Amino acid sequence: KQEVTQIPAALSVPEGENLVLNCSFTDSAIYNLQWFRQDPGKGLTSLLLIQSSQREQTSGRLNASLDKSSGRSTLYIAASQPGDSATYLCAVFVSGTYKYIFGTGTRLKVLA
Amino acid sequence: EAQVTQNPRYLITVTGKKLTVTCSQNMNHEYMSWYRQDPGLGLRQIYYSMNVEVTDKGDVPEGYKVSRKEKRNFPLILESPSPNQTSLYFCASSTMAGAKNQPQHFGDGTRLSIL
Protein backbone atom coordinates (compact mmCIF):
# COMPACT_ATOMS: atom_id res chain seq x y z
CA LYS A 1 0.00 0.00 0.00
CA GLN A 2 1.29 3.42 -0.98
CA GLU A 3 2.41 5.60 1.91
CA VAL A 4 3.65 9.17 1.68
CA THR A 5 5.84 10.72 4.38
CA GLN A 6 6.98 14.30 4.81
CA ILE A 7 9.89 15.26 7.00
CA PRO A 8 10.22 17.48 8.93
CA ALA A 9 6.71 18.02 10.25
CA ALA A 10 7.56 21.62 11.14
CA LEU A 11 10.34 23.99 10.23
CA SER A 12 11.22 27.52 11.34
CA VAL A 13 13.85 29.51 9.43
CA PRO A 14 15.02 33.12 9.22
CA GLU A 15 14.07 35.15 6.17
CA GLY A 16 16.40 34.79 3.21
CA GLU A 17 17.41 31.18 3.77
CA ASN A 18 17.25 28.57 1.05
CA LEU A 19 15.40 25.51 2.27
CA VAL A 20 14.46 22.00 1.22
CA LEU A 21 11.29 20.12 2.07
CA ASN A 22 11.25 16.37 1.68
CA CYS A 23 8.60 13.92 0.51
CA SER A 24 9.06 10.17 0.30
CA PHE A 25 6.73 7.49 -1.05
CA THR A 26 6.88 3.72 -0.78
CA ASP A 27 5.70 2.62 -4.24
CA SER A 28 7.24 4.00 -7.44
CA ALA A 29 4.13 3.18 -9.51
CA ILE A 30 2.85 6.74 -9.77
CA TYR A 31 1.56 8.89 -12.63
CA ASN A 32 2.78 12.12 -11.07
CA LEU A 33 3.63 13.92 -7.85
CA GLN A 34 2.20 17.27 -6.90
CA TRP A 35 3.25 19.88 -4.32
CA PHE A 36 0.64 22.08 -2.68
CA ARG A 37 0.56 25.00 -0.31
CA GLN A 38 -2.14 25.39 2.34
CA ASP A 39 -2.65 28.59 4.32
CA PRO A 40 -4.51 28.40 7.66
CA GLY A 41 -8.25 28.01 7.16
CA LYS A 42 -7.89 27.86 3.39
CA GLY A 43 -7.96 25.31 0.61
CA LEU A 44 -4.93 23.93 -1.18
CA THR A 45 -3.10 25.74 -3.94
CA SER A 46 -1.14 23.73 -6.47
CA LEU A 47 2.51 24.78 -6.70
CA LEU A 48 4.18 22.26 -8.99
CA LEU A 49 3.27 18.99 -10.68
CA ILE A 50 5.94 16.57 -11.89
CA GLN A 51 4.91 13.83 -14.28
CA SER A 52 6.48 10.40 -13.65
CA SER A 53 8.67 10.78 -16.75
CA GLN A 54 10.09 14.12 -15.57
CA ARG A 55 12.92 14.86 -13.16
CA GLU A 56 12.08 18.38 -12.05
CA GLN A 57 9.84 21.39 -12.43
CA THR A 58 10.50 25.02 -11.64
CA SER A 59 8.28 27.99 -10.93
CA GLY A 60 9.85 31.23 -9.76
CA ARG A 61 11.72 30.59 -6.51
CA LEU A 62 10.40 27.03 -6.31
CA ASN A 63 12.04 23.93 -7.72
CA ALA A 64 10.70 20.42 -7.26
CA SER A 65 12.60 17.26 -8.13
CA LEU A 66 11.44 13.69 -8.46
CA ASP A 67 13.46 10.48 -8.13
CA LYS A 68 10.94 7.72 -8.73
CA SER A 69 13.39 4.87 -8.27
CA SER A 70 14.27 5.98 -4.75
CA GLY A 71 10.74 7.15 -3.92
CA ARG A 72 11.74 10.72 -3.13
CA SER A 73 10.82 14.25 -4.06
CA THR A 74 12.20 17.53 -2.76
CA LEU A 75 10.78 21.03 -2.88
CA TYR A 76 13.47 23.68 -2.89
CA ILE A 77 12.50 27.22 -1.88
CA ALA A 78 15.07 29.88 -2.65
CA ALA A 79 15.47 33.07 -0.64
CA SER A 80 12.57 32.37 1.68
CA GLN A 81 10.18 35.18 2.68
CA PRO A 82 7.66 35.56 5.52
CA GLY A 83 4.90 35.18 2.90
CA ASP A 84 6.12 31.64 2.28
CA SER A 85 4.88 30.65 5.75
CA ALA A 86 2.27 27.92 5.21
CA THR A 87 1.87 24.16 5.28
CA TYR A 88 3.35 22.38 2.28
CA LEU A 89 1.86 19.07 1.18
CA CYS A 90 2.94 16.56 -1.41
CA ALA A 91 0.64 14.03 -3.06
CA VAL A 92 1.16 11.12 -5.44
CA PHE A 93 -1.31 10.05 -8.11
CA VAL A 94 -1.21 6.28 -7.94
CA SER A 95 -0.85 4.29 -11.15
CA GLY A 96 -3.69 1.94 -12.03
CA THR A 97 -6.06 3.20 -9.33
CA TYR A 98 -6.27 6.96 -10.10
CA LYS A 99 -6.21 7.62 -6.36
CA TYR A 100 -4.38 10.44 -4.64
CA ILE A 101 -2.31 9.78 -1.52
CA PHE A 102 -1.20 12.81 0.49
CA GLY A 103 1.59 13.29 2.97
CA THR A 104 0.78 14.91 6.31
CA GLY A 105 2.65 18.07 5.39
CA THR A 106 5.47 20.29 6.60
CA ARG A 107 4.47 23.42 8.49
CA LEU A 108 6.88 26.18 7.51
CA LYS A 109 7.41 29.43 9.37
CA VAL A 110 9.73 32.06 7.89
CA LEU A 111 10.77 34.65 10.46
CA ALA A 112 11.23 38.29 9.45
CA GLU B 1 -13.08 32.88 -13.01
CA ALA B 2 -12.06 29.22 -12.78
CA GLN B 3 -13.21 27.83 -9.48
CA VAL B 4 -14.44 24.93 -7.41
CA THR B 5 -17.38 25.92 -5.23
CA GLN B 6 -18.44 24.03 -2.13
CA ASN B 7 -21.57 24.59 -0.09
CA PRO B 8 -22.11 25.00 2.74
CA ARG B 9 -18.81 26.33 4.12
CA TYR B 10 -19.81 25.52 7.70
CA LEU B 11 -22.40 23.14 9.07
CA ILE B 12 -23.29 21.97 12.55
CA THR B 13 -25.80 19.13 12.65
CA VAL B 14 -26.85 16.14 14.72
CA THR B 15 -26.20 12.44 14.45
CA GLY B 16 -28.36 10.62 11.93
CA LYS B 17 -29.70 13.63 10.03
CA LYS B 18 -28.94 13.14 6.35
CA LEU B 19 -26.92 15.89 4.74
CA THR B 20 -25.43 16.75 1.37
CA VAL B 21 -22.38 18.88 0.65
CA THR B 22 -22.42 20.21 -2.89
CA CYS B 23 -19.42 20.72 -5.14
CA SER B 24 -19.45 22.41 -8.51
CA GLN B 25 -16.65 23.29 -10.94
CA ASN B 26 -16.75 25.54 -13.98
CA MET B 27 -13.64 24.26 -15.77
CA ASN B 28 -15.16 21.27 -17.61
CA HIS B 29 -12.87 18.95 -15.64
CA GLU B 30 -13.29 15.21 -15.94
CA TYR B 31 -11.74 14.24 -12.59
CA MET B 32 -13.40 15.23 -9.32
CA SER B 33 -12.64 14.11 -5.81
CA TRP B 34 -13.62 14.48 -2.16
CA TYR B 35 -11.15 14.56 0.75
CA ARG B 36 -11.36 14.90 4.47
CA GLN B 37 -8.63 16.56 6.51
CA ASP B 38 -8.07 15.63 10.13
CA PRO B 39 -5.28 16.76 12.50
CA GLY B 40 -2.36 14.36 12.41
CA LEU B 41 -3.88 12.32 9.57
CA GLY B 42 -3.58 14.79 6.72
CA LEU B 43 -5.84 14.65 3.67
CA ARG B 44 -7.47 11.35 2.88
CA GLN B 45 -9.41 10.65 -0.27
CA ILE B 46 -13.05 9.62 0.23
CA TYR B 47 -14.34 9.12 -3.31
CA TYR B 48 -13.31 10.17 -6.78
CA SER B 49 -14.89 10.31 -10.20
CA MET B 50 -13.16 9.94 -13.54
CA ASN B 51 -16.14 11.27 -15.50
CA VAL B 52 -19.94 11.32 -15.57
CA GLU B 53 -21.41 8.16 -14.04
CA VAL B 54 -17.91 6.83 -13.17
CA THR B 55 -17.07 6.86 -9.46
CA ASP B 56 -14.77 4.84 -7.24
CA LYS B 57 -13.77 4.55 -3.61
CA GLY B 58 -10.81 6.31 -2.13
CA ASP B 59 -9.14 5.27 1.09
CA VAL B 60 -11.93 6.22 3.52
CA PRO B 61 -15.31 5.73 1.77
CA GLU B 62 -17.25 4.22 4.69
CA GLY B 63 -20.31 6.27 5.64
CA TYR B 64 -20.29 8.38 2.48
CA LYS B 65 -22.00 8.29 -0.91
CA VAL B 66 -21.40 10.30 -4.07
CA SER B 67 -22.98 10.70 -7.47
CA ARG B 68 -21.83 12.19 -10.77
CA LYS B 69 -24.86 12.81 -12.93
CA GLU B 70 -23.45 15.94 -14.54
CA LYS B 71 -19.86 16.78 -15.35
CA ARG B 72 -19.77 19.95 -13.25
CA ASN B 73 -21.33 18.59 -10.02
CA PHE B 74 -20.09 16.02 -7.52
CA PRO B 75 -22.15 16.04 -4.29
CA LEU B 76 -21.03 14.24 -1.13
CA ILE B 77 -23.86 12.58 0.78
CA LEU B 78 -23.80 11.51 4.42
CA GLU B 79 -26.88 9.32 4.82
CA SER B 80 -26.60 8.91 8.61
CA PRO B 81 -23.83 11.19 9.90
CA SER B 82 -21.93 10.22 13.03
CA PRO B 83 -19.56 12.25 15.26
CA ASN B 84 -16.47 10.55 13.74
CA GLN B 85 -17.34 12.28 10.46
CA THR B 86 -16.67 15.67 12.04
CA SER B 87 -13.92 17.03 9.83
CA LEU B 88 -12.83 19.57 7.23
CA TYR B 89 -13.91 18.45 3.77
CA PHE B 90 -12.43 19.49 0.45
CA CYS B 91 -13.62 18.99 -3.09
CA ALA B 92 -11.13 19.12 -5.96
CA SER B 93 -11.14 18.79 -9.73
CA SER B 94 -8.67 18.39 -12.55
CA THR B 95 -8.60 17.67 -16.24
CA MET B 96 -7.38 14.33 -17.53
CA ALA B 97 -5.13 13.79 -20.52
CA GLY B 98 -5.04 10.02 -20.59
CA ALA B 99 -3.31 8.99 -17.39
CA LYS B 100 -1.47 12.28 -17.10
CA ASN B 101 -3.87 14.48 -15.23
CA GLN B 102 -3.24 18.12 -14.60
CA PRO B 103 -2.99 19.94 -11.27
CA GLN B 104 -5.94 19.66 -8.96
CA HIS B 105 -7.97 22.76 -8.13
CA PHE B 106 -9.40 22.79 -4.64
CA GLY B 107 -12.49 24.36 -3.14
CA ASP B 108 -12.28 26.44 0.04
CA GLY B 109 -13.48 23.61 2.25
CA THR B 110 -16.53 22.71 4.33
CA ARG B 111 -16.15 22.49 8.09
CA LEU B 112 -18.62 19.89 9.29
CA SER B 113 -19.45 19.29 12.97
CA ILE B 114 -21.72 16.40 13.91
CA LEU B 115 -23.00 16.38 17.48
List, run by run, the mean pLDDT of 10-residue segments along chain B (115 residues): 93 95 96 94 94 94 97 97 96 78 88 96
Q: Is B90 on the interface with A (CB under 8 A)?
A: yes
- CA–CA gap between residue A64 and residue A50 (Å, rounded): 8
Q: What is the pLDDT of residue B99?
A: 52
Q: Is A94 on the interface with B (CB under 8 A)?
A: no
Pairing of strands A72-77, A56-59: unpaired
Q: What is the pLDDT of residues B92-108, one digit of tens each?
A: 999 876 556 678 899 99
Closest CA to B106 of A47, A74, A105: A47
Q: What is the pLDDT of residues A34-65, one digit of tens each?
A: 999 999 888 899 999 999 999 999 999 999 99
CB contacts < 8 Å between A and B, how many? 60
- CA–CA gap between residue B104 and residue A34 (Å, rounded): 9
Q: What is the pLDDT of residue B42?
A: 87
Q: Average pLDDT, stretch A61-84?
A: 96
- CA–CA gap between residue B10 and residue A29 (Å, rounded): 37
Q: Is A50 on the interface with B (CB under 8 A)?
A: no
- How far does Cα B108 stand from its chain's mean position? 11
Q: Sheet containing A19-25: which strands, arranged edge to edge? A: A4-7, A19-25, A72-77, A62-67, A56-59
**Closest-CA residue in chain A for B10?**
A41
Contact list, A100 vs chain B (CB under 8 Å): 33, 35, 45, 48, 58, 104
Q: What is the pLDDT of residues A7-22, one digit of tens each?
A: 999 999 999 999 999 9
Q: What is the pLDDT of residue B97?
A: 62
**Closest-CA residue in chain B for A48?**
B103
Q: What is the pLDDT of residues B83-96, one digit of tens each?
A: 999 999 999 999 87
- CA–CA gap between residue A112 and residue B66 (Å, rounded): 45
Answer for the pair B91, B84: CB distance below 8 angstroms, yes or no. Answer: no
State the average pLDDT for chain B: 93
Q: Is B44 on the interface with A (CB under 8 A)?
A: yes
**Taking CB atoms and an 8 Å limit, are A104 and B33 in contact across chains?**
no
Q: What is the pLDDT of residue A79?
A: 97
- CA–CA gap between residue B71 and residue B114 (Å, rounded): 29
